[in-house]
Structure 1
Amino acid sequence: MGKVTAGEVQQWLIEKIAERLGEQPSAIPPGQYFDELDMDSTEALIIAGEMESWLGFELGTTALWYHPTIEALSAHIAEESARHGATA
């Protein structure tokens, strides 16, 4: 995949999390902390793996720790995507 924007990543994450939780995407606030979203660690790992496949690069193991909301992680991934696109 080419470069992605923070908005694209945010939309993707919200849709995946909503699907896992059986919620409407509108019920997932982008500023809420991941650990407040009622997902277990297995679900989080599955989503992270799907995201890496979608993005075409690996996320750092600490990405969710340092960027604990959908908004923060989306911005971080957009920066990483731009960096990976520049080196490709």
Structure 2
Amino acid sequence: MTQSITFTQDEIQNWLIDQLAERLEMEPADIDINEPFDNYDLDSSQALILLGRLEKWLGREFNPVLIFNYPSVDQLAQRLVQDS
């Protein structure tokens, strides 16, 4: 079993911002943490890839609907910190 690592909400937000910016070929400063992922044209396959990377980074497994139930960087980071 993989050891879970604890991160702060800011660390998770920054990681998500960097991943989104890279995937969408944007500057990290252009990512609004309150903007829904849908507004960045992040389709379901890209969302699942992002979630897979997040699982590896945090050392935890998530239900795939998590990213759809918490559809912004801020909401997702808040939820992940609550789970840690």
TM-score normalised by L of structure 2: 0.88
In structure 1, stretches of 5+ residues that fail to align are 82-88
1:75 aligns to what SS in structure 2? helix
Question: Residue 25 of structure 1 is aligned with which of 18, 25, 28?
Answer: 28
Kindly state the Cα deviation for residue 45 of structure 1 after the two structures are TM-superposed: 1.1
The one-letter amino acid paired with 1:66 is N
The one-letter amino acid paired with 2:7 is V
Kindly state the Cα deviation for residue 40 of structure 1 after the two structures are TM-superposed: 1.9
Q: Which residue of 2 aligns with 1:45?
A: 48
1:44, 1:72 → 2: CA distance?
15
Shift of the 40–23 alpha-carbon distance from structure 1 to 2, 3 Å rule, reads same
Task: Spell out, residue by residue over 1:14-60, the C-alpha distance to the aligned partner (whole angstroms, 9 max, x if none).
Answer: 00000000000000100000111112222111111000000111112
In structure 2, stretches of 5+ residues that fail to align are none
What is the percentage of aligned positions where both structures have the same residue? 36
4+ residue segments displaced more than 6 Å: none
TM-score normalised by L of structure 1: 0.85
Aligned residues: CA RMSD:
1.1
